[in-house]
Each structure stands twice: as structure tokens, then as C-alpha cells.
Structure 1
Amino acid sequence: MHVEIWSDIACPWCYVGKARFEKALTAFPHRDAVEVVHRSFELDPNRAKGDIQPVIPMLTEKYGMSEAQAQAGEENLGTQAAAEGLAYRTKDRDHGSTFDMHRLLHLAKERGRQDELIQNLYRANFAEERSVFGDDERLVELAVDAGLDADEARTVLADPSAYADEVRTDEREAAELGANGVPFFVLDRKYGVSGAQPAEVFAQALEQAWASHSPLKLIRPDSQGDAEACGPDGCAVPQQH
């Protein structure tokens, strides 16, 4: 079964939603048959790489809320994250462009280290003091810690066109699927789950998708075996009775 997760490193609910989904996946009886792929979605696609600002002022400007309201929202997110066993800094975080991070995630996908990198990026952005924005060497360190080659990561970051098409393709597909926010989970391109739902909802979605994904069951008459058929080795010859 194939699960695609559209998300953004700057999205706190993506951070929480990933943990909730993984809780459901860990308990899923067929988890070893589930392939998870992370897809790109930028919440702030027009933000320039050097345009970095603290989260609280960003929230007040973008949503027209007071600083007190923005801080209360961050405190609530901290509580939600803690309930999932996640660390979350409710103050003094930065916000900026995530385009380079998404490009690195496509490199990581090709190298089989995508989940390791996205987890590193989430942790660094939401739980650690050093900012992940505007510092290519910080991203290289996180990539190396995820198992990527440092020089290869630097080469990608130095070339703005590297994996840019892949990022834009993901974002275009999200729009085609009707996703106007993240996290957005798509199971076998048949079922969608929007938002950081409780683990129980993800568990139900996995079960439902698996039920429709299960192999075809053959109907065999009780009184007969397999009827004659053709296959790679030729066609069965009817036997005279």
C-alpha cells in the first residue's frame, strides 16, 4: 500500500500529524507492506530565501491576531506536541522559506533517506535553538545526520534548479487532489485524510485502504478445481473423460 504525505517543515501540525500517523502505522498489522513517501507543499511559496522573521510577528501579520493570541496558539501547539512525545519550543523560533529543504528531501528520497531527513528537519525547526533558515551549512549537517553525502547536499543547495521541478510537481498534484492545506495524507490515491487527525482516524483510514487494496479473492466452485486456462507456460489441454 502506498501512502503519500504532503507537508511543510514550517507547519507545526505536520510535525504533530506525522507523529500521530506513525503511531497508527506502528500498530497496523500490515505496516511492513506500507510504503510512505513525503511530498512537497510550501505554506509560504513566495517568500525569498533571505526573508526570515520570528514566528510570533509573522503570525500577527499574516492572521491579524494579537501577540498574546499568537503566543497562546504556540503554547497550545506545545501541549499538543508534548502529548505525542515531541519537543516544541513555543518561543524564539524563526520562520522562512522551506524551498531548499524540500529540494533536499527529493534528494533524500532518491537515496532512501527521506524519512530520516524530514524528521531531522522537523526536530531542528521546532525543538532546537539554532535556526534552520538562511544557513546552508545547518541544512548540510542535518542531511549528513540523515545519512546523505555532505558534498552532494551542498551541490543541491548551490543550484536553485536542482529538484525544483520535483517540488513544483508535488505542489501541483496537491492542488489537483484538492489539498489546500497540510498535512494531507493520501492512501493509494483512493482515500484522503486532511489535517493532524487523532491516531484512531489514521488507523481507520489504513484499515479501509487495506481492505480495498487486498488481493483479489478467487471464487472456486466446491465441486470443481481450477478450470482450463492459458498462462506463460502455454494452455491447458482438456482431458478426455
Structure 2
Amino acid sequence: MRVEIWSDIACPWCYIGKARFEKGLAGFAHRDEVEVVHRSFELDPGRAKGDTEQVIDMLAQKYGRTPEEARGMEANVAANAQAEGLGYRTEGRDHGNTFDIHRLLHFAKARGRQDELLSLAYRANFAEERSVFDDSVLADLGVEAGLDAEEVRAVLADPEAYADDVRADEREAAEFGANAVPFFVLDRRYGISGGQPSEVFAQALEQAWKDREVSALVPLGEDGVVCDTDGACEVPGSGAQV
């Protein structure tokens, strides 16, 4: 069975959702027969490469909030991340264009190191003081993930390397009707939106495994918290977005 996950490195609920999905998968009896593929989705595709700003400043400006209110929203997300055992810095994080990260993730997929690179990039972006919007940091992360340093630098230096793969993923997300992430597709039959609890993923895996004759994409469960194409990320239970 194949599970495809559309996500963006800038999305905190993708970071949290990945951890929750992995917890659900860990208890699945057929986990060794599940192939997980990460797909590209940009939350801020119109932002120019190199145009970065602090997340708190971006949130305050985008939603007309004070810096204190923006910090409060980030603290709510941080609490959800920490509940999953994830590190999360609420200050000092950058926001920027993620196209190069997605290109490098496709290269990593071709080398069998996609999940390793994605995990490192999430940790660098949300838990460490390392800007994933800096090519030198991306190059270091690629090497840490087990990729060849020269090949990584060559991919980053060529703006068209794996660009078509990123765009193909994004077109496919649009065809599925996905306008927010994370978005999970199980065996091209079942769709799950948002960073659901691990129990929801566990149930979905069981259902998808048992029923493999459905031809259309079927939503499973209620929508979970997501980040959408406007850059808004929901905070559960608060009615607010960050």
C-alpha cells in the first residue's frame, strides 16, 4: 500500500502531522508493506527566492495582529508540537519560498533519502536556529541526510533541476481538490486532510488495507488542522489561525 503526503516545510501542521502519522503507522500490522511518498505543495509560491522575514512579523502583518498576539498563536502551535515530542521555537524562525527545498527533496527521493532529508529540514526549520531558506544550510542538510555534497550543490545551483517534479506534484494536488496541507492519500483511494490524531491515521490505514476495491477518492474522518494556500494555519479549539 502506498501513502502519499502533500506537505510544505513551512507548514507547522505538516511537521506535527508527520509525527502523528508515523505514530499511527508504527502500530499498523502491515507497516512493512506501506510505502510512504512525500509530495510537494507550496504555501507561498509567489514569494521570491531570498525574500525572507521572521515568522512573528509575517503573522502580525498578514492577519493584522499585534506581535504579542502573533506570539500567542505560535505558542498554541508549539504546545501541539511539544505534545508529540517535537521541538518548536516560537521566536527567530524565518519564513520564505520553499521551492528549492522541494526540488532537493525530489532529488533525495531519487537517491532513496527523501524521508531522512524531510525530517532534518523540519527539525532545522521548527526546532533549531537554522534557516532552511539558505542554500548553504540546505546543502549541509542534504549531506546530513546521506546525499553526495557535490550532487546536492549541483541541484541547488540549477533552478530547473527537479522543478518539473515539484510542479507535477502541485498539479496533482489541485486535481485532488487539495488546497491545504498536510493532505494524505492512501492507495489513491482514501483522502485525509490535516494533522489528525495518530488514532485517526491508524484507523484509516486499517480501513484502506481491508477495502482495496474502491475506485474513487474517499475522505476519511473530519478535516483536521491544516495550513492553506493563503498561508493560514489553524489553531485547534481556538477558532484562530496563524
TM-score scaled by length of structure 1? 0.87
Partner of 2:114: 114
User: Could you tell me how far apart the structure 2 residues matched to 1:150 and 1:114 are?
Assistant: 15
User: What does the per-residue CA deviation read over 1:132-182, in whole Å, with 9 as the maximum and x for residues that have no partner?
Assistant: 21x211101100110100100100100000011100110010011011100
Partner of 2:30: 30
Report matched runs for 1:51-66 at 5 Å: 51-66=51-66
User: Could you tell me how far apart the structure 2 residues matched to 1:192 and 1:9 are?
Assistant: 20
Confirm or deny that 1:141 pairs with 2:135.
Answer: no
Confirm or deny that 1:99 pairs with 2:73.
Answer: no
Partner of 1:178: 177
Q: Which runs of 5+ in 1 are unaligned?
A: 215-241
User: What does the per-residue CA deviation read over 1:22-70, in whole Å, with 9 as the maximum and x for residues that have no partner?
Assistant: 0000000000000000000000001111100000111122223332221
Counterpart secondary structure, 1:176: helix
Counterpart secondary structure, 2:117: helix
Letter in 2 for 1:138: V
Partner of 1:196: 195
Letter in 1 for 2:12: P
User: Could you tell me how far apart the structure 2 residues matched to 1:212 and 1:151 are?
Assistant: 45
User: Could you tell me how far apart the structure 1 residues matched to 2:191 and 2:71 are?
Assistant: 31
Superposed CA RMSD in Å reads 1.0
User: Could you tell me how far apart the structure 2 residues matched to 1:10 and 1:193 are?
Assistant: 20
Partner of 1:45: 45
User: Could you tell me how far apart the structure 1 residues matched to 2:82 and 2:142 are?
Assistant: 25
Letter in 2 for 1:175: A
Counterpart secondary structure, 1:213: coil
User: Could you tell me how far apart the structure 2 residues matched to 1:177 and 1:31 are?
Assistant: 25
Shift of 1:213: 2.9
Letter in 2 for 1:117: L
User: Could you tell me how far apart the structure 2 residues matched to 1:62 and 1:167 are?
Assistant: 26
> Percent identity over the alignment?
71
TM-score scaled by length of structure 2? 0.86
Counterpart secondary structure, 1:78: helix
Partner of 2:151: 152
- The structure with more radius of gyration: 1
User: Could you tell me how far apart the structure 2 residues matched to 1:201 and 1:22 are?
Assistant: 12
Counterpart secondary structure, 2:188: coil
User: Could you tell me how far apart the structure 1 residues matched to 2:176 and 2:94 are?
Assistant: 30
Confirm or deny that 1:17 pairs with 2:37.
Answer: no
Shift of 1:196: 0.3
